[in-house]
Structure 1
């Protein structure tokens, strides 16, 4: 009888401990769904795709920091020439470049990079950042 109890007792304790751990709400909320089910739902959602103009703007902002606003403006003009559908976003991208140029170079030096890309949107971005 003692040997049987010595063999059965650890098995019962392991099983009851395992069941107790699976019933604990590890996520911190009192919902009846398990934490594993909640996390698998989060993983199955796709990240929102980025628009071409967002990708271009982010690339040009990095280029402005690493090279110069002049290089970024040249590449903006080339991108709009290559993909005319980006033309309607050109002004907002140029204004964002102007604001970033003021942060990186100061208002006077940033204005020196201005050129007629997308009308004068870069200059208006510089001017807007000054006020």
Structure 2
């Protein structure tokens, strides 16, 4: 007596032979390998993969991976933005923006003195000590004025 599996489809039952099962297992093993290899070859063979050398294959290596870009702290981003604003406009506009930012983002208040001092030093470099001092405001406990005095 041979063993066979019955598959019930609709109303009829039909036996599955050993050879059909063997073909199904072979396809289950070979088909994913073929799909992965064909997909890999298709990606490396597209024209935009490597336009200069034609048939050269692209491979990834741990030596070629650049270091992960460090994320910048919010206070550094704010300081750089305000320094650019000082360069483009004037220190008064940058100080107003600093006051506004401290009002809307209180978590940056502990960095206000350092940022205002950096603005004062940059203002002296761009406008000179006398003109830079004329923009002084009582923002962040007069740290801008101390930055002007420190730089001059």
TM-score (norm 1): 0.68
Aligned to 1:57: 79
Is residue 98 of structure 2 the alignment partner of residue 76 of structure 1? yes
**Gap regions ≥5 residues in structure 2:** 1-59
| Secondary structure, counterpart of 2:64 in structure 1 | helix
* CA drift at 1:62: 0.3
Is residue 56 of structure 2 the alignment partner of residue 48 of structure 1? no
Q: Which has the higher strand share?
A: 2
* CA drift at 1:40: 1.8
Matches of 1:127 and 1:38 in 2, distance apart?
Answer: 50
Q: Which has the higher helix share?
A: 1
How many aligned residue pairs are there? 93
Structure possessing the higher relative contact order (Cα contacts under 8 Å, 6 or more residues apart): 1
Where does structure 1 differ by over 4 angstroms across 4 or more consecutive aligned residues? none
Aligned to 1:109: 131
**Gap regions ≥5 residues in structure 1:** 1-35
Q: Which structure has the larger Rg? A: 2
